Structure 1
């Protein structure tokens, strides 16, 4: 029996939860398609089909992070300008097609083109979803909502090694596995387009009570093309945003090792593919635990210590613990001990992550997606550096047998720098809004 109109008028709708679920699924797919390559490049079938050296594999893996980083701001701005519904649909379709293409080509040049295109297409995903959370969730719940979206990404990344290893066996090839991932992505894009709307007011099933619960934005005007340079200028003049960007850069220098070179590290220690995939899955699964903890921690920290201290405290503490864990990796003889310490790194990274997201939502205003893209750009430059840095450090230390130690200590230092940078961030100072009257035609 359907509810009466009187009953419907006094009960707020819950459309915001559906929006969060679909963003969760997109984030899951985002990391599934991204992390699966770490498992694929270590297989004998991939190495035989492509003939890539370890240095070329490092360039191939790093190419994603460079293109992903460079297009963060443009992709974020396009989402602010044309809306999440249109742009994220385009982004998901594009990266799914690039996933399919990766499974078709076999040369180094072809793989690089597919991977660069993949990075460009994925660049707008998190900025767009961050802006969506800002529009669909009230201030006091942004940390938790952001943590659930990030949790979806970490779940996809966590399952990617084991799921990819199993699918390679079941489908008898790495190419077929990528084709399946691409097809699933295209279906997800269709579902997203059907469910999402850019704002609560535009959704036919979001009633006035839910809109009042979420809150009405003060500035709904979409940014214009002529505002890009003034917006970038405000980014360049914000010390807090530079410190946030610096923190993301160095956190990703340390964290990216887990999704790029850890599978190969384990294989080189004599661990078979299935067991190695399970170990990496365990490591990344700790990030799943860290996301909801971090979401709760950042909101609770803000309530307890205020916005200035509360936002940065989880990032600082988590970064310092992650750095100490990498130092332990450098001096442990036990392989499982190293895996356990890497799991702590994964946990701490994701405990700090919701605070990073919430900070950008706090200061971003109607340019949240572009602001997010700016900071995330620097973070992915860090990940690109990590993918290329690891084999270089290993080669440098090969004669003395200290290559692995150098890698772990470099990752530890990166986390310590990130923790120090976070201390200077101030979420109480929004990025200056661009007034239409102040922008020259």
Structure 2
């Protein structure tokens, strides 16, 4: 049965839509929490007497903590219900964000940002796992695109929202307020979300949902050998990891330094820089959402699942890299913002397509683990972008070297994806979405043959 919609009941279709909306809300709030320091960094630097280099390290420590939690959380996400794993992450990051506003030492700020990074680790891993459980392979592009789009919608919403809160309560009150909002969402998610296996469904409705994959190993040693060890031996895992590092490096540079960059290079006020940076971020959201539709459209026209993700990914990263390099030209403010908007639109599209590659290459029971491996590369790119940008800004007194470096890294990501992936890397399940999953006895597990 190729069309799921007529089979599922209205209640289940509504449950799927609400799940996507809750995940989008979580993604938006998570990136608002991350962007809070980007919007307020000049104020925090002044109050805490920090240099650009110190602020770059504070911006990047989140990503280092996020990186450290990726693989352990990915293994957990493939084995435990998204309801409680994601809920626990929401609670942890909410408390960390509120604590950030209460700290009065630089060391305390670092500790709070580490807690924020660890708490947000389950979001996209466990959230993607939830969507994989509710949507079959041929219909995942749109919900995954919307979910990934929240990573750009959050930073786009952040400047006007956070600046308004800062005007009332300062940067400390702002941190506490958005942390409290995250905590409310945590309770809503835990109260609402259910895995399909936990619901009393008819046989017909279970048939309309993705077929469960083979049971996964419970023994820790077997888990490391059969899943993590297997994926780490695959060339495609390393290609995804290295390529995604470049994608996130380029886009995260904008998310962390764009307001400060506009303030210093164009002599704008904090309010002007914050509000002006929202437009390119909204373009990033549009690109992220479009990525899901592009992948589904290419797949419907007969393009193989791997190329349906890779082709728009490589093209969009090429555009993002060139547009980023062009921001170094001496042009008017309007043209500069246009270059940033193009770069983030293309970068958002690349983020969605790159994330969907994990669902194409890995079997269902390894999706979260592979994406955790891929996300270690993303976290490395996310950690290096703000740190290196701060160092280069102090060294040269300009953001121009940072933007040229980001453009070069974006071009490198294009080469990695184009030359590193091969048609045989696509999982069997992704190429035959309506057939039952292959038996483990056959030796086919989703990436390649064992």
TM-fit CA distance, 1:209:
4.2
Matches of 2:58 and 2:202, distance apart in 1: 48
CA RMSD of aligned residues (A): 2.4
Unmatched runs of 5 consecutive residues or more in structure 1: 1-7
Q: Which string of whole-angstrom CA distances, capped at 9 and with x for unpartnered residues, describes residues 281-327 of structure 1?
A: 11100012112211111122233321232220011000000111012
Q: CA deviation at 1:427?
A: 6.6
Distance in 1, Cα, partners of 2:278 & 2:138: 32
- Cα separation, 2, equivalents of 1:99 and 1:133: 27
1:138 aligns with 2:136: yes
Counterpart check, 1:176 vs 2:144: no
Q: Which residue of 1 aligns with 2:213?
A: 218
Residues 75-103 of structure 1 deviation map (CA, whole Å, 9 limit, x = unaligned): 12122222211111100000000001100
Q: Residue 296 of structure 2 corresponds to which residue in structure 1?
A: 299
Q: Of the candidates 185, 190, 196, which is equivalent to residue 187 of structure 2?
A: 190
The structure-2 alpha-carbon separation of the partners of 1:60 and 1:210, relative to structure 1 and needing over 3 Å to count, comes to same
CA distance, structure 2, for counterparts of residue 373 and residue 410 of structure 1:
26
Deviations 1:367-423 (A, max 9, x none): 21121111011111011111111122223334xxxx433111111111111111111
CA-CA distance at 1:151 after TM superposition: 1.9
| Match 2:281 to one of 274, 277, 284 | 284
The equivalent residue for 1:32 is 32
Change (3 A) 1:81 1:10: closer
Per the alignment, residue 372 of structure 1 pairs with: 371
Pick closer, same or farther for the CA change 1:181–1:174 going to 2, 3 Å.
Answer: same
Cα shift at 1:278? 1.2
**C-alpha separation in 2, matches of 1:115 and 1:126:** 18
The answer to whether the 8 A contact 1:144-1:292 is kept is: yes
Hey, what's the Cα distance between the residues in 2 that align with 1:11 and 1:97? Answer: 37
Aligned to 2:147: 149
Equivalent in 396, 404, 410 of residue 399 of structure 2: 404
Contact 2:305 2:426 in 1 (8 A): no
Which has the larger displacement, 353-362 or 342-351? 353-362
2:446 equivalent in structure 1 = none
Q: CA deviation at 1:430?
A: 5.5
The match for 1:267 among 263, 274, 282 is 263
TM-score, normalised by the number of residues in structure 2: 0.88
Residue 262 to residue 410, structure 1, CA distance change in 2 (3 Å): same
Residue 280 to residue 227, structure 1, CA distance change in 2 (3 Å): farther
- Counterpart of 2:4? none
Checking the alignment, whether the CA contact within 8 Å between 1:298 and 1:354 is kept in structure 2 is no
User: Whole-Å Cα distance in 2 between the matches of residues 417 and 233 of structure 1?
Assistant: 27
1:158, 1:210 → 2: CA distance?
Answer: 38
| Contact 1:80 1:223 survives alignment (8 Å) | no
Distance 2:197 2:147 in 1: 22
User: Aligned in 2, Cα 1:289/1:137: closer, same or farther, shift over 3 Å?
Assistant: same
Unaligned runs of 5+ in 2: 1-6, 429-437, 444-450
Report the Cα distance in structure 2 between the residues aligned to 1:214 and 1:434, rounded to whole angstroms.
19
Q: 2:251 maps to which residue?
A: 255
Alignment: residue pair count: 423
Larger CA deviation: 364-373 vs 82-91 = 364-373
Is the alpha carbon distance of 1:123 and 1:347 closer, same or farther for their aligned partners in structure 2, counting shifts above 3 Å? same
TM-score when normalising by structure 1: 0.90
Name the residue aligned to 1:418: 413
Shift of 1:11: 6.2
Task: Decide which of 64, 83, 86 is 1:85's aligned counterpart.
Answer: 83
**2: distance between equivalents of 1:137 and 1:361?**
12
Residues 1:278 and 1:427: Cα distance change in structure 2 (over 3 Å) = farther
